Structure 1
Amino acid sequence: MQLIGMLDSPFVRRVAITLRMLDVDFQHRSLSVFSTYDEFRRINPVVKAPTLILDDGQTLMDSTLIIDLIEHQHGRSLMPGESTARIRATRLLGLALAAMEKAVQRYYEQQRPQDKQHAPWQGRVEEQLLAACEALERDLASQPLPRDEHIDQAGLSIAVAWTFIQLLHAQHIPADSYPNLRDWTAHAESLEAFKAFPPV
């Protein structure tokens, strides 16, 4: 099994860390959807990261769908089983994934020439990104996540999202303004599975 994509993508990184935490063997191939576009396209014509190549050659896309299938196949999950805990984890995971998506959109919009950037769209994306961060910060302040190695998918994805945001948008979204996100992520990034797949 091969995971295709660069670890500077939070979506690729969350899959890699999840697979490691589930003890699933895989090979990571660090291909870019930009600089190695043609090579990536030969693997997956859609050129979408992450792409997972199964042992039988089939290719899968989308981090959430990949994780869902792997968890089903291996009979293990990083999502809580108890209903109340699962509802909270699902809500937090949705916020983390939204933060990833909006952070990526903000980055790509900033790569356009200044005269091609659409200020209303960029303002909306920034508003959505900040709303996701603020909701996560409030939730972690009111109910901290356990600080051990049994991290669930929500905690994993929150940390991956925050690290990505700090890599690209720290000037606009300073870490000290979100101390609970900052401290949770520092804990998660100290775990072996996170250190095995650094974002750069």
Structure 2
Amino acid sequence: MELIGMLDSPYVRRVAVTLHLLKQPFVHRPISVFSNFDSFRAINPVVKAPTLVCANGQVLMDSTLIIDHVETVAGRSLMPADPRARQRALRIVGLGLAVCEKAVQIVYERQLRPPEKLHAPWMERVKQQLDAACAQLEAELAARAPALEATTIDQAGVTSAVAWRFTQEMVPGDVDARSHPATARHARAAEGLEAFRAAPFA
């Protein structure tokens, strides 16, 4: 398998960490959707990161769908089997992905759009959504933090840690670590796991 995309994308990174946790061999090709657009398009005409080129040559995209495939190949899931535990994990994953989505929108607006073209009401709305997602994620992790061993961490633990690291690297002034101690604590511990170290934010 080949994973296409940069590890500064939270979506690419959650796939990479998952592949390492499930001990699935893969080649990472750090091709940017921006600076290497044509090279990326030659692999996936949609130019969407992450892209996974499967062993049979089939091209998949979207981190959640790629993870579904990887878990099928591995014969093991990072999602709990118990219905109630799975429901809570899905909520945390959803919040983590919302954090990623809104933080990415802010980054794109600031880095790709000329300052005079920024639409303040839209930016304020996205910031409110980011704040709400971070606050609810903090409440969930403060109530009960996900397991943090390499053999027990689930997708909720992976996605929330990846999402937090992305905010702190890319929009640190928008998400104050002091206001989210449980999330920050969880992410620090997760970053120490071998699977996270093997797929560093970069």
How far off its partner does 1:133 sit? 0.3
What CA RMSD, in Å, does the superposition of the two structures yield over aligned residues? 0.9
Question: 1:158 corresponds to which letter in structure 2?
Answer: S
The aligned runs of 1:1-200 (5 Å cut-off) are: 1-111=1-111, 112-149=113-150, 150-200=152-202
Q: TM-score, normalised by structure 1?
A: 0.98
Query: How far did 1:172 drift?
Result: 2.0
CA distance in 2, matches of 1:90, 1:54: 26
Structure 1 residue 75, shift from structure 2 partner? 1.3
Q: What SS does structure 1 have at the residue aligned with 2:28?
A: strand
Partner SS state of residue 96, structure 2 = helix
User: Residues 12-60 of structure 1, C-alpha deviation per residue, up to 9 Å, x if partnerless?
Assistant: 0000000110011100000000111111110001110000001111100
Instruction: Report the 3-state secondary structure (helix = DSSP H, G, I; strand = E; otherwise coil) of the residue aligned with 1:32.
Output: coil
Cα displacement (A) at 1:145? 2.1
Opposite residue 146 of structure 2, the aligned amino acid is: L
Task: State the number of aligned residues.
Answer: 200
Note the residue ranges of structure 1 that are not aligned, 5 or more in a row: none
Deviation at 1:173, TM superposition (A): 1.3
Which aligned runs of 4 or more in structure 1 are off by greater than 6 angstroms? none
Question: How many angstroms apart in 2 are the aligned matches of 1:144 and 1:67?
Answer: 22
Q: Report SS of the residue matched to 2:145.
A: coil
Cα distance in 2 for partners of 1:122, 1:104 equals 12
Q: Unpaired segments of 5 or more residues in structure 2?
A: none
What SS is found at the alignment partner of 1:56?
coil
1:122 is aligned with what amino acid? M
Quickly say closer, same or farther: Cα 1:147–1:59, change in 2 above 3 A.
closer
Deviation at 1:110, TM superposition (A): 1.1
Amino acid at match of 2:83: S
Which amino acid is the alignment partner of residue 98 of structure 1? A
Counterpart of 1:85 in structure 2: which amino acid?
A
- The residue type paired with residue 188 of structure 2 is A
Question: Residues 74-132 of structure 1: CA distance to partner in whole angstroms, max 9, x if unpaired?
Answer: 21000001111000000100000011011000111112112100111111111111100
Which residue identity is paired with 1:187? A
Measure, in 2, the Cα distance between the counterparts of 1:193 and 1:104: 23
Q: What is the rounded CA distance, in whole Å, between the counterparts of 2:144 and 2:41 in structure 1?
A: 44
TM-score (norm 2): 0.97
- Does the CA contact (< 8 Å) of 2:51 and 2:61 recur in 1? yes
